[in-house]
Amino acid sequence: MNIQYCIDMAAKQPYVRKQSRHYAIVMDKKGRVVGEGTNEYFKSHPLSAKAGKAVGLPDKICIHAELKALLADRQRKGVKLIVARVDSKGQPAYSEPCLVCKHLLQTDFKHIKSIEFTI
């Protein structure tokens, strides 16, 4: 599993205007996927709200693909986060984690050692 898998999975999501098609996976030391996720625009999570307030973006409370994948790794065995985003034509687009997700990685998910994303 690698970045191309994330790009392919993001491209399979239906295109909705003004909504990004992100896909994220968390991998363990052996390269196995231990969590996967997509953006959830109509759901929130207490960790999103807490991190949003901490970085001065209290309105950013929807569940991002990164957080969904990290939460799916219930045993916190993941060491690598891979994130991809595709544009309306299914082409890879810039997907560096936002300030809220970066804050979560620094505070609540310190076990993640590396992050790979589409540029």
Give the residues across from 36 on adjacent strands.
25
Minimum mean pLDDT range among 18-22, 28-32, 77-81:
18-22
Closest to 68 in 3D by CA, of 41, 92, 88: 41
In the prediction, which pLDDT does 1 show? 65
Distances (CA, A) of 95 to 75, 101, 116: 26, 11, 9
User: Is pTM, for the whole model, over 0.85?
Assistant: yes
> Does position 82 have pLDDT exceeding 90, yes or no?
yes
Under CATH, which architecture does the 3-117 domain have? 3-Layer(aba) Sandwich (3.40)
Contact yes or no for 63/48 (Cβ under 8 A): yes
Residue range 37-70, pLDDT digits in tens: 999 999 999 999 999 999 999 998 899 999 999 9
Residue range 105-119, pLDDT digits in tens: 999 999 999 999 999
Using CB atoms within 10 A of its CB, is residue 33 exposed (0-12), middle (13-18) or buried (19+)? Answer: middle
